[in-house]
């Protein structure tokens, strides 16, 4: 299902820490509206959330595999999609679990943490079935 085909069914939900942790535990794909950098970074994205923690600036952040949608670095040609992205939670304006689970370990996934975070709260586990 293409990202823009599901916008009609998107119910705006806040990106709470509980919702983020739940999506990581369940390994569920999520659609977010991200207030990212322009040009090209503000808009809908379909992601696979895998790690939640805090950045060096003490911002809550989410590491995710960005499958499709708006992407500032993709727009500029620096990091095309799909690919890894680090999202500031305060810039995620909506967060909706889609029910589709993901099970593929994406290239470059770090099972022990995240170099963009000084404190990791949860990291996806691929050695066990999702909840």
| 12 part of a folded domain | yes
Residue 24 is part of which domain span?
3-123
Compute CA 25 distance to the chain's CA centroid, rounded to the nearest angstrom. Answer: 13
* Predicted pLDDT at 26: 95
| 130 part of a folded domain | no
| 32 part of a folded domain | yes
The predicted model gives 48-68 an average pLDDT of 95
* Predicted pLDDT at 8: 46
| 25 part of a folded domain | yes
| 9 part of a folded domain | yes
Cα 36 to Cα 65: distance, rounded to the nearest angstrom: 16
pLDDT digits (tens, 9 = 90+) for 114-124: 899 999 999 99
| 29 part of a folded domain | yes
The chain-wide mean pLDDT, for the chain, equals 84
| 128 part of a folded domain | no
Domain count, the chain: 1
* Predicted pLDDT at 113: 82
Cα 37 to Cα 42: distance, rounded to the nearest angstrom: 6
Alpha-carbon torsion, ordered 115, 116, 119, 125, to 10 deg:
-70
| 26 part of a folded domain | yes
Share of the chain above pLDDT 70, in %: 80
What's 90's domain CATH number? 2.30.30
29 or 73: which carries more pLDDT confidence? 29
pLDDT digits (tens, 9 = 90+) for 67-123: 877 666 655 566 677 889 999 999 999 999 988 999 989 999 988 888 999 999 999
For the record, the structure tokens of 8 come out as 């009609």
């Amino acid at each position: 299902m293409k990202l823009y085909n599901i916008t009609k069914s998107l119910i705006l939900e806040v990106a709470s820490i509980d919702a983020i942790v739940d999506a990581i535990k369940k390994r569920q794909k999520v659609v977010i509206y991200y207030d990212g950098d322009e040009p090209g970074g503000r808009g809908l994205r379909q992601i696979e959330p895998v790690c939640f923690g805090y950045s060096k600036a003490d911002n809550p952040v989410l590491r995710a595999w960005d499958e499709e949608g708006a992407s500032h670095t993709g727009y500029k040609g620096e990091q095309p999609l799909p690919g890894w992205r680090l999202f500031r939670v305060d810039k995620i304006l909506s967060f909706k679990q889609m029910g589709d689970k993901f099970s593929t370990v994406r290239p470059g996934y770090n099972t022990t943490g995240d170099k963009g975070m000084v404190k990791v709260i949860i990291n996806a586990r691929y050695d066990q079935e999702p909840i």
